Amino acid sequence: MEKNSPWVGGGSPVGGGGPVGGGSPVRGGGPVGGTGRLAGKVALITGAASGMGAAHARAMAREGAKVAIADIATEAGEQLAAELGSASYHDHDVTDPAAWQGLVVAVEGMHGPIDVLVNNAGIQVRSVGIEADDDEWAKVTGVNQRGVFLGMRAVIPGMAERGGGSVVNVASTAALVGMPGSIPYQASKAAVLGLTRGAAVSYGRNNVRVNAICPGLVVTGMTASASREAVEAMKAQIPLRRDGRPEEVSAAVVFLASDESSYITGVALPIDGGFIAL
């Protein structure tokens, strides 16, 4: 069966630009309902102002983490930080190396050393295929691929020096199977898996775990513009016959960020209702 999806994948929409600095003040309190699986941990999540990134932020805060929300959607990010309580918002361009250095300083100045990095920021331009122009290629790979590398480069050394940490990179089922169209997006997400495996092997000796998740059909802001026909066609190819919910993806992020997954590194975890099993 041909896998047909013009937009399968994860990540919240993120574009360019945005100052990096002090961010919003840390607030007291926080959401209730978790079991403290991330208590005492500091989690930095990119592309976290909306979509799956916001779901990850809520889930991690619920489990006791201090969450730093990095995005370019200032209003939404600040609202989410206020909602979560012990959280902060930081304007951040994931494609800017200097911005990453400033972000780490700001987050650690507010919350303490970073224990968890979730490279969630992602974009997709729906080109047909190799007709994608240079601008699309640069934009998509800049955020989805280079942004992940820059994030790990900025955060992993501190984790290694302190004796460990967890990195969760958001890839896509498009990194695992070929699909028609959106070739720059597929290439960028496949590269995320290479970055994940390479970093896992390189920094395992420092107790830094690096894993990737590969979401399938999850309707968020980045994918909601797809036609109803495209969504229904995709559902028909999924063994569970439905789309996923952001919260279901967040459950995997929390697990990989927590000490429950202490012997897991270098994996690419599909969260796709069985899509790639076909």
Enumerate the active-site residues.
185
Which residues is 121 bridged to in the sheet? Answer: 12
Rg value, the chain, Cα: 17
Residues 61 and 88 sit within 8 Å (Cβ to Cβ): no
224, with CB counted inside 10 A (0-12, 13-18, 19+), is: exposed
Listed residue (139, 173, 174) closest to 15, CA to CA: 139
Q: Return the beta strands (E) in the chain as ranges.
A: 42-46, 66-71, 87-91, 116-119, 165-170, 208-215, 268-271
